[in-house]
Structures are given as structure tokens and as C-alpha cells.
Amino acid sequence: MSYNPYKPILSKVTSIIDETHNIKTFTLVHEEEFEFKTGQFVQFVISEVGEAPFTPSSSPYVKEKMDITIMKAGRVTNMIHTLKEGDLVGIRGPFGKGYPIEDFYGREVLILGGGVGMAPLRSLLLTLIAQKDKFKRLLLLYGAKTPGDIIYKEQFADWKRQGVEIYRTVDNGDETWKEKTGVVTVLCDDVKVGKEIAIVCGPPIMMRFGTFKLLDMGYRPENIYLSMEKNMSCGIGKCGHCALGPYFVCKDGPVFKYSEIEHLEDIWD
Amino acid sequence: MGTRFISKERLKEFIKKLEGEVFIPQKLEDTFRWQRYPTEFTLEGFRTIFPPKYFFYNPQEILKEKQTNKRTVIGIKACDLRGILFLRKVFKEGDFIDPFFRDDILIISADCTYTEKNCFCTLLNDNPYPEEGYDLNFSELKDGYLVDIGSERGEALVTENEIMFSTVDQQQIIDRDMMRERVIKEIEGKKIEINGNIDEGKIIDYINKCVSCSACTNICPACFCFLLDEKKDFEKVRYWDSCQYPGYARVAGGANPRKKLDKRFIHRIKCKFEYSPVRFDSRGCFACGRCISACYGKINFKDVLQSL
Ligand code: SF4
Ligand code: FES
């Protein structure tokens, strides 16, 4: 029989990091070769339970292992959170189109991220950093609910050292928080930008306000890249679950230019 | 590839020669049902109660390599054949190929010789006879069938059984043309044209009768959506699914863009008439009218389309 796209490869959980009270990062070592492009997604399979789609959060240049950062949000993710080091899971994919990195060469790239949306953005950031001389400027604007909800806490300093300009905010600060407070769009007022490329990833409400803010600032719809979450199941454009207008997010996305989808209904739901 | 003639008697012999499982319509009252090797069968009339989709795309199946029997389906009508060709695009084209949708089935189609009240292919400018995608197509005449050869497989089958077939004369072709013209004229009504925005107001009374039972999508010869379920040892099972179920489009966080009945109903229309042409270069409705007979809310989908 020909290649079976429904069959996962096996992968071993080799480490688990608690990022926040409801977000964990799982490091997986696959039993077969596996490659992905940044922004593509995989299906994370728990035998007898189900599967759920995630975009890996590690660099695609690291082949021997892969990180996936997962927030508890339902039946499958709750189950994933009970995994222990050494457990075997399945991985299907990679699916969809990733970020068109080459199209960003020579330009200023602004990344707007919220909450667990930082997971795919970390993979993107690491990809950009690996070839940072190719870009005019890299900026990261990140927002979380509280300081405790910030993921990859230890890594921001390193990204800064690599030349990424970083601005952060939380909705509700505490006595330790010395940076900005307010929703992530408040950071946009603090930066002077050339309005070239913008990439947005986060919860739906944040994607919506983030995109509108970027448009207000003067970003063009075709230069705003959104990573869309839809009910992905098969991953291969057959099952119909991820329909977004005429697109199947699993194969035509998950990354879309805003100009490709702005005329569609219900993109933020 | 040419056209031959086969008599009604010879057809029975021909069918006995086919290897593997053979499915043919049987007439029961005024309906047609698929049967495996029936003693009595027919190629007359219109489409069967259930679409032949079932033979190609299993409603519930384990997605692992398995042995399949050779299979022939005889008597597929034009609308259903278009449905199969559509499903073939969905499953067998693109970056990923689905290995479980069957494209090894021998397809012997047949012209409609009369229609039923819900048939509306001509209102979508489709013809009530197959035009492509068959191995052999049968057009019923008084004493036998014209047999159009549509593929090398069909050709080989005719060659192997050459003795059962005869050449065709001009009168038989004329007879067929007349029959086709007659059947085309049986379907009357306003042509359906769906373009641009769907005005929900025009069809809201229909929409409000929908009970989200999914009868329409299950019985549709072209609906393809499915759900995956995870079994032991990373094995998957798939089930046909329906965009008409309230939970269908739900995402992990709980957001559900098509929670509302009207959104789902319109999604079905758009999927078939607006999105499928973009995705698969083909409309996703072939006017078989089954959803009209099946609808629990007694919604006449043809009327819905005509009102748009
Ligand atoms: S068959 Fe009728 S009632 Fe059932 S989901 Fe379809 S349109 Fe709604
Ligand atoms: S996830 Fe099945 S079509 Fe996109």
C-alpha cells in the first residue's frame, strides 16, 4: 500500500518543563527521521485517547529532538499533561505551509505574540535568529495575562543578546513586574517601526485586536501573517474539519496573509 | 474507444464473468437498491436509494492496510458517477493521497431511462447520462444496451468477451439520442444559478426547519467529511462526519464558528457551490435529490437552491 498519512511515527518524551500552571513544554525524540519547516504543525497522538494539532516550538534546524509547548485546553491536552518522561507518543505530519522566511529577507520583521501563541513564535524566532544578518531588524512584542503566565521566561535574555528587540507586557502586573502593563497592543505605541513585515500569533481575541492595531499603524494586509487555529483533524485536506471559507487551514495554512482571509466571515471566531 | 451492443440475455452472462463482488440495482416498488449478485436486476430508471459512495468510501473503517476483494459496481447513474469523480479528486489528488478511498473498482455506469420527482440534474446543466469517468457505460434500448467503452480496462473486458457483443447500427444511436432527449425533458423548472453572496433572508424559512440530523450529508453522493478516532496501538478509525452537527467545527479552546443553525446550513450550500469549485475545480452537488427525500425537516434542497 502507498504511504499512510494517518499513521504516526513513534516518539519518546525525554523531558517535560512546567512553563506556567497550565502550560508544559515536552521534548520529544523521534524513532524515525522527522523534519519540519517553522510554522508547520504536527498532530500529537495519544494512543486510545486522540490527537491534537500543535506547531513545534523548537528550531527546525535541530533534527534530533523537537519541543512542543502545550496548554491544557480540553480532553486530549489534559491527557497530554499527565505524560511522564519515557512515555511513547505518536507524531503525524508535518502538515501545512510554514512561514515564508525567504520573503522576509532584507526586511524588518515584527512579531506580535500573546500567551501560548509564543510557542510557534519561538520556533520562528530561532529560525530568524539563525540567519539574523539576512533581516533588517527583528522585534518581538509579547503579552501575557500575568507575569506567572509568561512562557520561556529564561530565554528572552538570550534572544535579546542575539539582537532581537524585545518588549513585554502583562494584563495584570505584580510587585516584581517592572515592564509594561496592558494588553499586547499597548506595546505597539512604544516602538518606532518601518512597518514592513508583521507576524501575529495568540488567542483569537488578541489576534483580532493585534491585526487591527497593525493595520492602524499602517501595515499592509499582505504583510501581516497570521497563524490560524481551526479544528484540524486529518491534517491533509480531506476531512473537512478545518474549513475557513474556501481554504483548508491544514493545507493552505496554518499561516495566512491577512489579505488572503480578510474578506472571509468569522475568521476570528 | 468505441461503442458496442449487448442483448439483455447476453448481459446476464457477461455479469457472471466479472471477478470479485458485483453490485447491481434491484427494483423494489418504485425504488432501486444495491444488491450483491441479485437474481433479478435492472439498469432502468434513476439513481439508487443509497449512493454508490459506500462502495468506494467506507462509512466506518480502520485506517490500516488490509486485503480488499475485487469489486464491480454496475448501474451507477450520471449524478452518482460525478459524485465519485468528485470524491476521487478530494481523496486521490493533492499533496497527500488517501490510500483507503478505493479507486480500483470497476465502474459500469448506465443512462437514466426515466427520472423521479426529486431529480434535478438538468437544472444544474448536467445531463442524465454519464459522459466521463466510467469503464463501460450502458444505455438501455428496447432489446439490449449500447455499451460505450470509456477506459482501457473497459476495452479489455469487452475484448475478452468479444463474442457477447455486436457492432452498432445507426438506428440504435438515433434511438439512444431520442431516449436521452426524452429524459432531459422530464425534468422541468427554474435553472439553478448560485453566484456571489447568499441572501439568508430568502431561505430562512427553510433553514428554520432543519433539525441538524445529518441525513442530507450522509446520503449525499459527494459529501466527504470524516472524523478520526484513536484506537489501541496508534491505530485510527474513521467515521463519516457531518458539517450539520452543532459540534463539528469546534476548536480546542471551545470557540465554534458555526454554532448557529443558519451558519451551518449556509456552509453546506457554500461548500458545494462556492468552495468546492475553488478547492477541487468542481461543484460538490450533482442534483440527485436524495437529500430532499431524506430530510427530516422536509426541506426541499432544490427549492432552496432555486430561491437563491
Ligand atoms: S437532512 Fe434536513 S434536517 Fe437533517 S441536517 Fe440535513 S437539512 Fe437539516
Ligand atoms: S484537518 Fe482535515 S481537512 Fe484540514
Distance, in angstroms, between A220 CA and closest chain B CA? 25
Contact A112, A184 (CB under 8 A): yes
> Residue B172, class by beta-carbon neighbours within 10 Å (0-12 exposed, 13-18 middle, 19+ buried)?
buried
Mean pLDDT score, B188-207: 91
Alpha-carbon distance A15 to A66, whole Å? 11
Number of domains into which chain A is organized: 2
Strands A137-144 vs A165-170: parallel, antiparallel or unpaired: parallel
Q: Of ligand 2's atoms, which has the minimum distance to the CA of residue A238?
A: 3
B37 confidence band (pLDDT: 50, 70, 90): confident
Do B15 and B57 reside in the same domain of the chain? yes
**Interchain CB contact of A205 with B (< 8 Å):** no
Report CA-CA distances (Å) from B194 to A146, B118, B167, B184, B190: 50, 19, 43, 21, 12
Domain that holds residue A112: 101-227
* B193 located within any domain: no
Look at residue B258 and tell me whether its pLDDT is greater than 70. no
Do B300 and B264 reside in the same domain of the chain? yes
Cα A242 to middle of ligand 1, angstroms = 21
* A261 located within any domain: no
Look at residue B252 and tell me whether its pLDDT is greater than 60. no
Model confidence over B91-133: pLDDT tens digits? 999 999 999 999 999 999 999 999 999 999 999 999 999 999 9
Do B220 and B179 reside in the same domain of the chain? no
Look at residue B223 and tell me whether its pLDDT is greater than 80. yes
Do B181 and B65 reside in the same domain of the chain? yes
B257 confidence band (pLDDT: 50, 70, 90): low
Distance, in angstroms, between A140 CA and closest chain B CA? 25
Determine which helix (DSSP H) or strand (DSSP E) holds B82, and give its type and residue range. helix B78-92
Contact A165, A135 (CB under 8 A): no
A228 CB near ligand 2 (under 6 Å): no
Final residue in a domain of this structure, among A94, A118, A147: A94
Do B23 and B108 reside in the same domain of the chain? yes
> Mean of the per-residue pLDDT values for chain A?
95
A265 confidence band (pLDDT: 50, 70, 90): confident
Final residue in a domain of this structure, among B186, B219, B240: B186
Model confidence over A152-193: pLDDT tens digits? 999 999 999 999 999 999 999 999 999 999 999 999 998 999
Do A140 and A36 reside in the same domain of the chain? no
Domain that holds residue B59: 3-186
> Mean of the per-residue pLDDT values for chain B?
94
Residues sharing a CB contact under 8 Å with residue A257, sequence separation 6 or more, in sequence order:
A221, A222, A223, A224, A225, A226
Q: By alpha-carbon position, which residue is closest to atom 7 of ligand 1? A: B210
Do A74 and A141 reside in the same domain of the chain? no
pTM: 0.95
CATH number at residue A144: 3.40.50.80
**Residue A144 falls in which region: left (phi positive, over 0), alpha (psi -120 to 50) or beta:** beta
Model confidence over A193-230: pLDDT tens digits? 999 999 999 999 999 999 999 999 999 999 999 999 88
Residue in A26, A30, A124 with CA at minimum distance from that of residue A84? A26
* A136 located within any domain: yes
Do B148 and B214 reside in the same domain of the chain? no
Look at residue A119 and tell me whether its pLDDT is greater than 70. yes
* B194 located within any domain: no
* A240 located within any domain: no
Question: Which percentage of chain A shows pLDDT scores above 70?
Answer: 100
* A259 located within any domain: no
In testing the pocket of ligand 1, which one of B204, B208, B212, B267 has its CB within 8 Å of the most ligand atoms? B212
Look at residue B253 and tell me whether its pLDDT is greater than 60. no
Final residue in a domain of this structure, among A47, A66, A94: A94
Alpha-carbon distance B165 to B262, whole Å? 54
Look at residue B281 and tell me whether its pLDDT is greater than 90. yes
Question: Which percentage of chain A shows pLDDT scores above 90?
Answer: 95
Least CB-CB distance to A233: which of B91, B99, B227? Answer: B227
* A233 located within any domain: no
Do A115 and A221 reside in the same domain of the chain? yes
| Residues linked to residue A25 through DSSP beta bridges, in sequence order | A17, A69
pLDDT of residue B1: 81
Final residue in a domain of this structure, among A61, A94, A127: A94
Do B181 and B207 reside in the same domain of the chain? no
* A113 located within any domain: yes
Ligand closest to CA B238: 2
A52 CB near ligand 2 (under 6 Å): no
Residues 217-236 of B with CB under 8 A from A: 224-234, 236
Final residue in a domain of this structure, among B186, B221, B239: B186
B251 confidence band (pLDDT: 50, 70, 90): low
* A246 located within any domain: no
Model confidence over B52-103: pLDDT tens digits? 999 999 999 999 998 999 999 999 999 999 999 999 999 999 999 999 999 9
Residues sharing a CB contact under 8 Å with residue B50, sequence separation 6 or more, in sequence order:
B33, B34, B219
* A248 located within any domain: no
CATH number at residue A27: 2.40.30.10
Ligand closest to CA A5: 2
Model confidence over B145-183: pLDDT tens digits? 999 999 999 999 999 999 999 999 999 999 999 999 999
Do A118 and A192 reside in the same domain of the chain? yes
Look at residue A258 and tell me whether its pLDDT is greater than 80. yes
Final residue in a domain of this structure, among B151, B186, B221: B186
Verify cis geometry, omega within 30 degrees of 0, for the bond prior to A94.
Answer: yes
A1 confidence band (pLDDT: 50, 70, 90): low
Do A35 and A123 reside in the same domain of the chain? no
Number of domains into which chain B is organized: 2
Mean pLDDT score, B246-271: 77
Alpha-carbon distance A47 to B235, whole Å? 8
Look at residue B195 and tell me whether its pLDDT is greater than 90. no
A160-170 CB burial, b ≥16 within 10 A, e <16 = eeeebebbbbb
Look at residue B255 and tell me whether its pLDDT is greater than 90. no
